[in-house]
Structure 1
């Protein structure tokens, strides 16, 4: 008879006692059993008899401690790759790092149990990969294939036969390294490449924008100086008109003097206009300041008004000058303000049709004086009003330029602002059924020096 079996009446469970529980030998003779008055029991066998008290018999409790035996990387022992072992506890391996190409490994483990090794049960879990513990069995090996990069912890629980498994024990930490294209230095390279790409893209568009801007600026400057040439021609025509009248057959002494006066006046203005080309850069950097002092405006404007008598007559344009007072005193620089008024009138004559009307007026108000140049020409589109006073601004309408004459509206605005005043415009574009027109207003403050 092999061994002794004990029945627990309460749980109906049978426990087979072995050498581990204190029995001296595994086999006993049949019918060689005796219950003594002392309630002890005796079982006999070939090697003697075993005497014990069944009420005092207790099975031994023993803790099992699983140990790591082997780790195989793609079928080869981990010891063949010493660089992959990153942590040890004495001779025991505690941490490894394996490459991802692919990450295949086998882990062997065992529990040092020499009495009943076949009754030892195992359950394992690779934390970070397995979703649950493996079913309990006597298998002492675990294999994993194609592990993704990351950190994992291999844990094992053990126990005897049907007894509950003991607390798990961590055998080894496994780190699967990411592929080269997912390493920190790869991400650093990606960041540098992306930064360089963005830099070159931004620089490309910036350079293209700058080239376009420089081209547009260059073209605008050409147009500007072309307009200056047109203005020089305008003054020459104003000079030649009276000369032609003097040389005609029908003239008298008063007309001759008047014509020569006009020639002299426009010649002086032409000289100032050429000088203005030299002063233009100074005005751009606000280095050309007007010499402002109090002057009489009503006697100042007719001199400018008289320079446009000949072109107004030649084009049958009604040209009028009005003032609401006989004498208006206001601080201004005559040379600089003349450039502004002259520029506004040139533009008005340029875009006023034949038999049109242009008005130059001065009106004194409370604390200010308004100088207006009004025409019934083609007008200015609303979307162009905000850009009208920008340097070199041009408007193309039906193939013809619409701004940028004389020293330019931009410079005119700067001169007025240097006087402490404002230059504004109101305009109505002409249509087939409605006449247009523009009103430029120069407002100067009284008492400002």
Structure 2
């Protein structure tokens, strides 16, 4: 079977490499010439652990290549995966579907044979039917072009693992033939035991939106409890541990911190709310609006705590921010809590210096007015407060005793709650973490 993957952002890169690893001949479509050259050299245009070696392996083998020409894939591929981005629409909470529809408009006039077009992009419920109508209207093959939706559940920093070994596979299909084709595509993980849920198109669309909304709710819930812990002297990490033993709740993602960020969860949650509004489901909007508000409040709470630890003074104070990516294992700074907090602290008048092991280049593009250091130690030099905002292993491995000698004031705010608090205190630091006494 031959597979086309249209769109080579985070999702498309992982999908292309993964399909080649499953044993298929794959062509990825990318219209940006710089990205196209990188991909055909076996290099991803983003940082993701394990992705470059996998791309290189299959580009070198000839099983995987990339093109900007839709005519090369139209009647060549048996399955076309749409992996276009769906960012938040400017000036709205709705999803911007222009990239998805652009793919459809480029591909459809070239489809002269029966084929299966599979959406993997995260879209509002109802989008798949609009895609189908567009394809049938424009494609010479007409209704012989079938649409399915197969949502992805990739976690940044674990994208390769989640592509090759998914924790579940959801097939939104309209025929047994489409289901059989998708089972053939994903035969390897199915044989390894990945469970399969077969459903209709709107259910498949809602699965991804619902999963993200539930995850956001869980993260915001433990952060709301962190506020309770601060008010009572409780320890939110021990609280989460105890709650996590309840198999109805589970420990995964039950971690207090600066809240969720990145290029998916925030905009997907807001798009989910927007679609609920269009459908008149007000209860969903009310619930998820509070979830989003709690998440934003966590960032303000860290800024307030920093102000408190600086003695109520911003001007003339040096603040170090350890972390720029929205989480460890990626260079993605979209809606990053770390950079948002850094920007807020700078706006109050403090001098802010940032270090991140992988996301410095992207951070400079987003926040060019911040200072950037080449190492964590350099970033901490003469600091009055150190903010730990992205949970890179390198930061946990820092020697607090050695770092004590380079700062002006030994104050650390562990917003990720994963530093060794006793070790930092023993080294002479004032250690604070939201939700911990």
The TM tier, using the shorter chain, reads under 0.3
**TM-score for both structures, normalised by structure 1:** 0.19
Bigger relative contact order, structure 1 or 2, given CA contacts below 8 A and separation 6+? 2
Select the structure that is richer in helix. Answer: 2
**TM-score for both structures, normalised by structure 2:** 0.19
Select the structure that is richer in strand. Answer: 1
